[in-house]
A and B are shown apart, each in its own frame.
Chain A
Amino acid sequence: MKGRWELIVGAVGGLGLLAGSALGLWWAPQERFMLETGRILYVHVPTAWLSMILFTAAFVGSIGWLVKRRWGFDFLSEASVEAGVVLGCLLSVQGSIWAHWTWNTWWAWDPRLTSVAVMVLSFLGILALRSFVDDPEKRATWSATATIVAWVNVPFVYLCVKWMRSLHQGQSSVANIDPDMGKVLLLNTVAVTLVAIYFVVTRWRIANAVHQREFAE
């Protein structure tokens, strides 16, 4: 347990997420048009932001590995892709549940939904690539290359709501919603960030342990 600071970060994040979700459900004002279904905002928006931030962290880790050849960058990339894929899947599930009540369908071939699904699938492919390559250096280099190429999609996902006509409403942020809603959104964003840090650091440690074992064999 010594030195496992991420456990505290994860616990604080988990508690913050519970508190933020409770406040979002019972304290924050109702959204004017979407009514109760609009409360998904407090988990959906932070999940979307964090999944894209994690994929960007994987991109940074990949460039770091290709330039510096330090294993820490590869571990960061691996951990961030895994955590990003988990959040990306959660994002799609949350969006699907919300779409069922708002659009009366579980899935619509809307640019935003489709591009998120494409983004998650791109990074799932990278996880598959990692599992199909035995040599650690080749695995790191090839997955870094594939991560950089897949990351090209992330800005497209972020901007597609602005560029294309979409069923999905415009991006919500603390700046363009009711101040009370903004406080809860901010709380949950910080909480999800802390939970994501916990995921990434824990996965980083696992990747490091696997690496030590591979080189010891």
Chain B
Amino acid sequence: MELILESRAVLAKELLHVWRARARLVATGTFALATLLLFSFAGGLNDAALRENSAGYLWIGILLASTLALGEGLRVETEHNAIEMLLLLPVSPAAIFYGKAIGNLLVLLLVGIVMLPFLTVLFDATPTEGVGPLLLCLFAGSAAISAPGTLHATLAARARSRDVLLPLLLFPLVIPCVVAAVQATHLVYAGDPMDQLGSWLGVLFAFCVVHWSVGGLLYSRVVED
């Protein structure tokens, strides 16, 4: 119970921080949309192929945007030594992790939701299985990226060459999650006659359970050293 209350307090601080730095959020969203446009240039004029691959473009856009969102969020904290101040508060490091990770999850979810209409406009992709399952895919995929992303962004923010280090650590780790998220989202867009959506979402939630548990356990080691 205490952990939940503490996490909620950290989350409130994170959301306030995101609100005050709205320009950064807008920049992250714009970057994600720019990647969608770039994919459409790279894919050529084949409308069917663009529509077929639209789920992949969505998730690569979110993944690339996540490095900006995660990296920038932790950079501000380390530049002003705010993380040290946060550790002085009577809050457990696990609560700091969960508060930050949920904050990052909400940012990624927002970026994903903003991208959805553009996916329909640019690639003519409409969710055959409905908006509900699509939002569930976005939630599960964003959660699977945000937990390891928060942990590794904290590591990278305090090391040299942090801009290089974060994608280097994060991308290989979340590839299985991105594969599962792409497959699940593709099924929502293209239809799911074989009823496979549940198993891909199951894979995503399994990764979420592992990464959110391991992150909560290890965060104290990362911030206290």
A-side interface residues toward B, CB under 8 Å? 66, 114-115, 118-119, 121-122, 124-126, 128-129, 132-134, 137-138, 141-142, 144-146, 148-150, 152-153, 156
Contact = CB atoms under 8 A, between A and B. Distances in A.
B151 A145 contact: yes
Interface of B: 148, 151-152, 155-156, 158-162, 164-165, 168-169, 171-173, 175-176, 179, 210-211, 214-215, 218, 221-222, 225
Contacts of B171: 121
Contacts of A141: 221-222, 225
Nearest to A109: B179
Given A118-B172, A126-B169, A133-B159, A152 B221 contact: no
Given A132-B161, A132-B165, A150-B172, 5 more contacts: A125-B169, A132-B160, A142-B155, A149-B148, A149-B218
A122 B173 contact: yes
Given A118-B176, A153-B176, A144 B160 contact: no
A117 to B, nearest CB: 8
A152 B152 contact: no
Contacts of B158: 138
A149 B173 contact: yes
B161 A150 contact: no
A149 B151 contact: yes
9 contacts: A121-B172, A124-B168, A129-B168, A145-B151, A146-B152, A146-B155, A146-B169, A150-B172, A150-B173
B165 A142 contact: no
Contacts of B165: 125, 128-129, 132
Given A118-B175, A141-B221, A148 B214 contact: yes
Contacts of A153: 173, 176
Contacts of A142: 155, 159, 222, 225
A146 B173 CA distance: 10
Contacts of B175: 114, 118
Chain B contact surface mostly:
helix
Pick from B161, B169, B171, B214 the residue with the most CB of A within 10 Å. B169
A152 B172 contact: no
Q: Give the most central of B151, B215, B222: most A CB within 10 Å.
A: B222
A129 B169 contact: yes
Contacts, number: 76
A16 B162 CA distance: 44
In this complex, the member of B161, B165, B225 whose beta carbon has the largest number of chain A beta carbons within 10 angstroms is B225
A129 B159 contact: yes
A134 B176 contact: no
Nearest to B173: A122
A8 B162 CA distance: 42
B225 A152 contact: no
A176 B165 CA distance: 43
Nearest to A145: B218
B160 A133 contact: yes
B218 A152 contact: no
Contacts of B168: 124-125, 128-129
Sorted from nearest, which 7 A-B pairs have the closest CB atoms? Answer: A121-B172, A122-B172, A125-B169, A141-B225, A132-B159, A125-B168, A132-B160
Given A129-B159, A132-B160, A145 B172 contact: no
Contacts of B173: 122, 125, 149-150, 153
A182 to B, nearest CB: 32
Contact of B172 (A125, A132, A137): A125
Contact of B210 (A119, A138, A144, A152): A152
Contacts of A122: 172-173
Contacts of A124: 168, 172
A137 B221 CA distance: 11
